[in-house]
Structure 1
Amino acid sequence: MARLVIVSNRVPVPAKKREQQAGGLAVVLEEALKGDVLWFGWSGRRSAEASAEPVFATRGSTTFATIDLSEADYRDYYAGFANRSLWPLLHYRTGLVAFLRDEYQGYRATNRKFAAALMPLLRPDDIIWIHDYHLIPLGHYLRELGCRQKIGFFLHIPFPPLSVFDILPPARELIGDLATYDVVGFQTHEDRDNFQGCAGRLLAGEQRAHAVSASVAIPVGIDGKAFAQMAKTSRMTAESHRLKHSLVGRKLIIGADRLDYSKGLPQRFEAYSELLETHAQYREKVSFLQIAPRSREDVSEYRDLKRSLDRLTGKINGKFAEFDWVPLRYMTHGLSRKLLAGFFRMAAIGLVTPLRDGMNLVAMEYIAAQDPEDPGVLVLSRFAGAAASLDAALVVNPFDTSAVAEAIHQGLMMPKEERRARWLSLMDRIEQDSAASWCRRFLARLSDTKLRAVS
């Protein structure tokens, strides 16, 4: 049987397998990790010079191979082009796109280094699966080095239409990079169609035809049953008991997102404030817990976002708090996936309201965590990829804070019978579009492709 080679920007540390945050790549790839696997990528460490030789670790039948980045590589490849150019662009945030030619060249140079470090590790019959926007050119550089194995690519975040993507000066080159892959996977049909539209305009001839035919929409999922069992068990932990005790009978509203401007957190806070303003009956009757682990703190937009949320938290609590009630609990450090599962289970409302998101597995995890006999209600952004299948949630436009406030009100007032009916429909879709299904479908498509000649 062919070995699977997974390539991602970061590689999970084997010793911390069970401490992933909700929705991590390691979670959704767990099905793929059951066979003979090599997982290659960045160690997360930075040094004066990039390491040329990988460091290896093993867990079961999986071998992890990591390399360090130099400070210059990190600055240009990761903090620079990947997260100051590609990330905002692919999330439709054109006003936040910052493009520097030197950072783009550094992004390509680092991808070339990844390819050079990976090539000696490859076997002739390997199947290579590359993940996400950090590594778009990697397949191109592997082909340049003579790689003849099948190579697939999956984009976990959105892909915008031509009118947005073409803003980026190297748009044509990046689309050409994606056309190098045997299969290019996207979360939704909209993302795939947007890519095909870009390929149709920016590429020509055989390259264009291949890019269109090789692109597929296969949504990522979770193992709903396993997460449900985790939530049921975690409900009994000391931390869950502490949270329940602190609520003093109040209904819990919960959000769990990385601290990122794509997640719509300022708009969510404003919607909660409007709920308390327009529906005074919820004052002292609900508690909103927002978990938002800090990330990319060396990017100015993320520091600005934290300051904005700090101010909003103070404003809301200053306006509505009582001596024995804090309306908004806001924390910027992460919790383990297991602990979050227990917290989700006791929450009456799950708020998942990104301004744009590839899929958003937290939405699925919230649903899977619920007590089937008395489930909570998911308020979900229409701009999350998950909304395409989780249409039994209360789907909202996150830019309309009044509509989000009303959806929270509707969820809090919803009869148990309706909540159960919605939950059953949502859980059925989660079990259909599972992580295992995603892995099997993508790898089957990649395995079925014919080997392409390397020019």
Structure 2
Amino acid sequence: MGRLVVVSNRVPSSSDRHHPAGGLAVALQDALRRGESLWFGWSGKQVAEEEKHSRTVSQEQVENVTYATIDLTHSEFDGFYQKYSNGILWPLCHYRAGLMDFIRRDREIYLDVNKFYARKLSDLLRPDDIIWVHDYHLFPFAQALRNLGVKNKIGFFLHIPFPPWSLMKSLPSAVSLLKNMQAYDVIGLQTEDDARNMNDGFMQCGFGPRAQAFPIGIDPDSFARQAEAGEHDAEVHRLKASLRGRPLVIGVDRLDYSKGLPERFLGYEAFLKRFPEHKGKVMYLQITPVSRGNVADYKALKRDLDETAGRINGMYGDFDWTPIRYLTQSVPRHLLAGFYRLADAALVTPLRDGMNLVAKEFVAAQKEHNPGSLILSRFAGAAAEMEDALLVNPHDPEEISDALHRALIMPKAERLARGKKLRESVWRVTASSWARDFLEELSKDRPE
């Protein structure tokens, strides 16, 4: 087999290339280590329009991986990334078609950037390379490569949900998008439901079904080691001391409307109202780093969360107790591992999520002899594998409140039984097995 060529919109920054800190870099770590590899994508930098035709690919070698990056112009970043990828495709794939703000010019820029990426990558390819393309920014990328004469095997993996055709067809030129995807040899999604939705879309457009489920995981052994080491971290000790013996409920999500954070806060408020015996006796820590903070929808979401947290803290708090500790800055991965291990329960309640690896990280971080409880949305991709979590509908505040109460009073024997099954599921499907299974499928010979 030739090189593995990974293509994603963002490439790990120089500081993360030696020690991956999270996300796709961690998921692909094992696959990239198996031999010579190339990772291609956007540099994260923007250049002036007058530099558009003078851009060259920058390359950096780190061990066996070559990182190849290219800049975008300001107008490409705006149309391709901000407006079409994140303003159209992201809300649509998360079942929020009403948030789309479609402008045809943005779609044209989206297609042009995919063609631009394809031209730049094609110069770097070898005949036996296997190409693995990632996520919604690059739906039409394989077709752009095929138009340049590239015959290599090309796989695609979508990390976010895919909606049913009845919703997907609200996208102008949805048929064209699905037609472009026929250029991929293998198409992977997180869950059977998502694969079924995409295949139904293909068939509605006159194509054969070709999407398959390849659920993604984490490196549970590594994360468990981080969590165990985190117990001795000074900041974890600070958090533990501040609890004063009270149980800790934790939530960790970047700021996004798909994460169900306003609904979660209302669920926690219902918990305090319906189970007053917990008032002053539990601590809820919500860590929500701000992302896309310059986008109007995200500004409005942050304002809503700020106001809701303030109202709940004002109504239910006391001079020595704050119901919600709400942080909007990021926390290093090793500290999060320690915080998870300390927590008695985790709230993972997205309205829609491709997988949600926070749920798996929380389970991996737990003490095997005394695990905390996982409260998980039925609409997270992880729910299909983690049926022993306390599954909730995030649209129902009372259901969230019932699950919180149950988690905090759950007998140890039940926590151990649930924790054992959850651990088995997290150790069964890992980042390594996900990459192996996908690349094995992509490596198979297929009829011309």
Q: TM-score range by the shorter chain?
A: over 0.9
Where in structure 2 are the equivalents of 1:337-376 lying within 5 Å?
Answer: 337-376=333-372
Where in structure 2 are the equivalents of 1:119-130 lying within 5 Å?
Answer: 119-130=122-133
Residue by residue over 1:360-399, the C-alpha shift from the partner in whole angstroms, topping out at 9 and shown as x without a partner, is 0010000000011110000000000000000000011000
Where in structure 2 are the equivalents of 1:225-304 lying within 5 Å?
Answer: 225-304=221-300
Q: Does residue 177 in structure 1 map to residue 180 in structure 2?
A: yes
Q: 2:161 — aligned with what?
A: 158
Residue 45 of structure 1, CA deviation? 1.1
RMSD (CA atoms): 1.3
Q: Point out the more displaced range, 372-381 or 6-15.
A: 6-15
Task: Return the letter of the residue paired with 1:333.
Answer: Q
Residue 58 of structure 1, CA deviation? 2.1
Residue by residue over 1:66-88, the C-alpha shift from the partner in whole angstroms, topping out at 9 and shown as x without a partner, is 11111100110010010111000
Distance 1:279 1:69 in 2: 53
Q: 2:417 — aligned with what?
A: 421
Task: Return the letter of the residue paired with 1:225.
Answer: D
Residue 298 of structure 1, CA deviation? 2.6
Residue by residue over 1:223-245, the C-alpha shift from the partner in whole angstroms, topping out at 9 and shown as x without a partner, is 11211111000121111111111
Distance 1:272 1:341 in 2: 23
Distance 1:261 1:398 in 2: 13
Residue 449 of structure 1, CA deviation? 3.5
Q: 1:306 — aligned with what?
A: 302
Distance 1:135 1:355 in 2: 24
Residue by residue over 1:344-372, the C-alpha shift from the partner in whole angstroms, topping out at 9 and shown as x without a partner, is 00000111000000000010000000011
Q: Point out the more displaced range, 29-38 or 145-154.
A: 29-38
Distance 1:92 1:18 in 2: 37
Mapped contact 1:130–1:153 kept (Cα < 8 A): yes
Distance 2:447 2:343 in 1: 50
Task: Return the letter of the residue paired with 1:4.
Answer: L
3-state secondary structure, aligned to 1:326: coil
Mapped contact 2:388–2:421 kept (Cα < 8 A): yes
Task: Return the letter of the residue paired with 1:329.
Answer: R
Q: Does residue 76 in structure 1 map to residue 79 in structure 2?
A: yes
Out of 104, 107, 112, the residue aligned to residue 109 of structure 1 is 112
Residue by residue over 1:264-322, the C-alpha shift from the partner in whole angstroms, topping out at 9 and shown as x without a partner, is 00000111111111111111111111111111123211111001001011101111111
Residue by residue over 1:31-81, the C-alpha shift from the partner in whole angstroms, topping out at 9 and shown as x without a partner, is 111121100001111121346311111221111111111110011001001
Distance 2:174 2:293 in 1: 27
Q: Does residue 13 in structure 1 map to residue 13 in structure 2?
A: yes
Out of 201, 204, 209, the residue aligned to residue 201 of structure 1 is 204
Task: Return the letter of the residue paired with 1:161.
Answer: P
Distance 1:326 1:16 in 2: 36
| TM-score, with length taken from structure 1 | 0.96
Out of 375, 378, 393, the residue aligned to residue 397 of structure 1 is 393
3-state secondary structure, aligned to 1:179: helix
Task: Return the letter of the residue paired with 2:244.
Answer: V
Distance 1:192 1:198 in 2: 10
Distance 2:316 2:96 in 1: 32
Q: 1:56 — aligned with what?
A: 59
3-state secondary structure, aligned to 1:130: strand
Residue 21 of structure 1, CA deviation? 5.9
Distance 1:303 1:31 in 2: 37
Out of 407, 410, 423, the residue aligned to residue 406 of structure 2 is 410
Distance 2:446 2:294 in 1: 43
Task: Return the letter of the residue paired with 1:228.
Answer: A
Distance 1:250 1:342 in 2: 17
Residue by residue over 1:12-46, the C-alpha shift from the partner in whole angstroms, topping out at 9 and shown as x without a partner, is 12422577665x11111111111211000011111
Residue 120 of structure 1, CA deviation? 0.4
Q: 1:239 to 1:17 in 2, by over 3 A?
A: farther
| TM-score, with length taken from structure 2 | 0.97
Distance 2:20 2:379 in 1: 25
Task: Return the letter of the residue paired with 1:128.
Answer: I
Mapped contact 2:122–2:150 kept (Cα < 8 A): yes
Q: 1:296 to 1:451 in 2, by over 3 A?
A: farther
Q: 1:33 — aligned with what?
A: 32
Q: Does residue 385 in structure 1 map to residue 381 in structure 2?
A: yes
Task: Return the letter of the residue paired with 2:30.
Answer: E
Distance 1:276 1:62 in 2: 51
Q: 1:94 to 1:395 in 2, by over 3 A?
A: same
Distance 2:160 2:420 in 1: 27
Q: 1:319 — aligned with what?
A: 315
Distance 2:435 2:181 in 1: 20
Mapped contact 2:18–2:62 kept (Cα < 8 A): no
Mapped contact 1:21–1:334 kept (Cα < 8 A): no
Mapped contact 2:187–2:211 kept (Cα < 8 A): yes
3-state secondary structure, aligned to 1:121: coil
Q: 1:145 — aligned with what?
A: 148
3-state secondary structure, aligned to 2:151: coil
Query: How many residues are treated as equivalent by the alignment?
Result: 444
